[in-house]
């Protein structure tokens, strides 16, 4: 069942130097429960595309449909995780997750379930300054999931983390995805991360951003990056990037 439809989505910015084309004729459909990763050169419009899907940017051409309804602005149906956690420093973990929701018995129970899901038991009353970067991002993910979004959008959420924490966060996110069946769209610069997480890897061309290719991963979880099937797909992705002009800014991990 298709959950998200992008039809002829284009984005242009008007600057003093003229019109800059950020995205051109994006066509993408995402199935319910699917995990999509998006990779491409810096400046190809990955984050812009995510903001359009989220309804944070409505000044675009084409249409975005979520469950058949046009996306006209932000809503609780679309959770968004930024590169930094953006927690409230004056609230503890529990209250950061519940944020502005009324503290009912049901909300408290759901918060407890999510704290367990993101592996933060024992830190319920901790404040953001007492958390590591990975823990703070887990709070942000739990906060987004509390609203039961139809799709969770993640904009390079692990980019600032060290390699060990990043690998751990990938496992946490996969665990959440497998248990909640939440549809996820994840932007990254890391090719290995994109393949490790996704059902499909969407590869974008340099600006103006267009979809160059969509590669199904087809490797069962848990995945090993040293596995022959994983390496075969990795080579497919790398071959595509050899043909993408100005694609040198992509970071290829060797973990």
Element (H, E) at 47: helix 46-54
130, 147, 164 — which closes off a domain?
Answer: 147
Q: Which of 208, 180, 169, 201 is nearest to 81 (CA)?
A: 169
pLDDT the model gives residue 16 = 81
Which residues of the chain fall short of a pLDDT of 70? 245-255
User: Same domain, yes or no, for 113 and 132?
Assistant: yes
User: Same domain, yes or no, for 91 and 59?
Assistant: no
User: Same domain, yes or no, for 216 and 162?
Assistant: yes
CATH number (domain holding residue 41): 3.40.50.300
Q: Assess if residue 82 is contained within a domain.
A: no
Q: Assess if residue 19 is contained within a domain.
A: yes
pLDDT the model gives residue 75 = 93
pTM of the model: 0.91
147, 173, 196 — which closes off a domain?
Answer: 147
CA distance 238 to 198: 16
pLDDT the model gives residue 190 = 92
> Which domain covers residue 46, as residue numbers?
2-77+149-249
User: Same domain, yes or no, for 38 and 158?
Assistant: yes
User: Same domain, yes or no, for 18 and 67?
Assistant: yes
Q: Is 248 left (phi over 0), alpha (psi -120 to 50) or beta?
A: alpha
User: Same domain, yes or no, for 93 and 173?
Assistant: no
Number of domains in the chain: 2
User: Same domain, yes or no, for 117 and 13?
Assistant: no
Q: Which of 90, 106, 89, 107 is nearest to 98 (CA)?
A: 107
pLDDT the model gives residue 61 = 95
Residue 131 has which token pair?
A: 């958390």
User: Same domain, yes or no, for 131 and 46?
Assistant: no
pLDDT the model gives residue 245 = 53
Cα dihedral 170, 172, 177, 183 in deg (nearest 10): -50
Q: Which of 78, 152, 143 is nearest to 111 (CA)?
A: 143
Q: Assess if residue 254 is contained within a domain.
A: no
pLDDT the model gives residue 254 = 43
């Amino acid at each position: 069942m298709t959950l998200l439809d992008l039809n002829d989505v284009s984005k242009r910015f008007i600057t003093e130097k003229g019109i800059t084309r950020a995205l051109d004729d994006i066509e993408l459909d995402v199935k319910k429960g699917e995990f999509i990763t998006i990779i491409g050169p810096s400046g190809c419009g990955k984050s812009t595309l995510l903001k359009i899907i989220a309804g944070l940017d409505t000044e675009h051409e084409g249409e975005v449909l979520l469950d058949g309804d046009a996306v006209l602005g932000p809503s609780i149906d679309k959770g968004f995780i930024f590169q930094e956690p953006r927690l409230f420093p004056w609230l503890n973990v529990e209250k950061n997750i519940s944020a502005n929701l009324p503290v009912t018995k049901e909300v408290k129970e759901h918060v407890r379930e999510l704290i367990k899901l993101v592996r933060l038991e024992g830190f319920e009353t901790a404040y953001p300054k007492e958390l590591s970067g990975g823990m703070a991002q887990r709070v942000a993910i739990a906060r987004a999931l509390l609203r039961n979004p139809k799709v969770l959008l993640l904009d390079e959420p692990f980019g600032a983390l060290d390699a060990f924490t990043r690998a751990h966060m990938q496992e946490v996110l996969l665990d959440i995805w497998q248990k909640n069946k939440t549809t996820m769209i994840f932007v990254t610069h890391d090719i290995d991360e994109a393949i490790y997480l996704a059902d499909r890897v969407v590869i974008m061309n340099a600006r103006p951003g267009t979809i160059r290719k969509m590669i199904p991963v087809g490797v069962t979880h848990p995945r090993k990056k040293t596995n022959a099937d994983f390496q075969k797909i990795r080579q497919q992705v790398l071959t595509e990037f050899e043909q993408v002009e100005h694609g040198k800014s992509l970071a290829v991990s060797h973990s």
